[in-house]
């Protein structure tokens, strides 16, 4: 067995200090790096270069791992960040027109998407009942995840309101901020229920950005 080289103790201690910093990250990482370099400068200046080499190697390995992990979902994120949404869709409202037939609703959305008109779907949490009735909700699956699976969408262009809340405020605020067209047959003019976003809805109406949807030949159609 080879004898232990005591001259390696300072650099080992420095590496342990840096490891502690990597564990806590943030400001602790910078503090640990400073302490490690100063520690070596005092006890073993020649080992500073070795520490830098070890540090760069570790950084490359860590960042490589992070980028590989991100790469697993890179396509969806890139698509979501670059998608220009044309319509904010009041999904529950339109589903009511086709008697909660998810396929007919999906056909309408796919038709828009095929014509390069992006959509952001907004659902009331009450859609959970429709999913359960159709046995579409898998065990331990959340409502948003189930809808993403059913409509083959990523989480960035689908929103579900919180339990006990409607999606109307989310739709109107989102459309108003991003100057999008709302697809809904709701007038959004109820003085009490819509009071927190009624002015935003009015701005959209003045711009012609709230469009009604009807059923023509059994298919959802923008009127």
In which domain, by residue range, is 50 found?
A: 6-71
pLDDT at 74: 39
pLDDT at 3: 56
Q: What percent of the chain has pLDDT over 70?
A: 78
Task: Report pLDDT digits (tens) over 26-41.
Answer: 677 678 777 777 777 7
Q: What is the mean pLDDT of residues 175-197?
A: 92
* Distance from chain centroid for Cα 165: 20
- Specify the number of domains making up the chain: 2
d(CA 34, CA 6): 23
Same domain, 62 and 99: no
Same domain, 126 and 194: yes
| 8 A C-beta contact, residue 167 and residue 160 | yes
Same domain, 54 and 132: no
Same domain, 89 and 20: no
Residue 177 lies inside a defined structural domain of this protein:
yes
**Most confident among 22-31, 48-57, 98-107 (mean pLDDT):** 98-107
Q: Collapsing DSSP states into helix, strand and coil, what is residue 114? A: helix
What phi, psi does 218 have (nearest 5°)? 80, 5
CATH code, 174: 3.40.50.11980
* Distance from chain centroid for Cα 15: 36
Instruction: Examine the pLDDT at 194 and tell me if it is beyond 50.
Output: yes
Residue 78 lies inside a defined structural domain of this protein:
no
Left, alpha or beta for 135 (phi > 0: left; psi -120 to 50: alpha)?
left
Residue 216 lies inside a defined structural domain of this protein:
yes
**Residue 167 DSSP label:** S
């Amino acid at each position: 067995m080879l004898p232990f080289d005591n001259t390696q103790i300072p650099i080992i201690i420095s590496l342990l200090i840096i490891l502690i910093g990597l564990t806590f990250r943030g400001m602790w990482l910078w503090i640990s790096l400073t302490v490690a370099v100063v520690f070596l400068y005092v006890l073993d200046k020649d080992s500073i270069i070795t520490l830098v080499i070890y540090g760069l190697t570790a950084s490359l390995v860590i960042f490589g791992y992070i980028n590989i992990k991100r790469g697993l979902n890179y396509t969806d994120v890139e698509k979501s960040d670059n998608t220009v949404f044309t319509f904010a869709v009041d999904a529950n409202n339109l589903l009511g027109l086709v008697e909660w037939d998810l396929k007919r609703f999906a056909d309408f959305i796919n038709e828009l998407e095929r014509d390069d008109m992006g959509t952001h779907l907004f659902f009331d949490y009450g859609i959970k009942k429709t999913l359960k009735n159709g046995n579409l909700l898998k065990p331990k699956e959340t409502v948003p995840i189930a809808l993403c699976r059913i409509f083959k969408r990523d989480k960035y262009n689908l929103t579900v309101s919180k339990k006990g809340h409607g999606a109307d405020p989310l739709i109107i605020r989102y459309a108003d901020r991003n100057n999008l067209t709302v697809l809904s047959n709701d007038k959004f003019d109820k003085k009490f229920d819509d009071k927190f976003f009624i002015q935003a809805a009015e701005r959209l109406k003045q711009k012609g950005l709230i469009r009604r949807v009807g059923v023509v030949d059994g298919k959802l159609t923008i009127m």
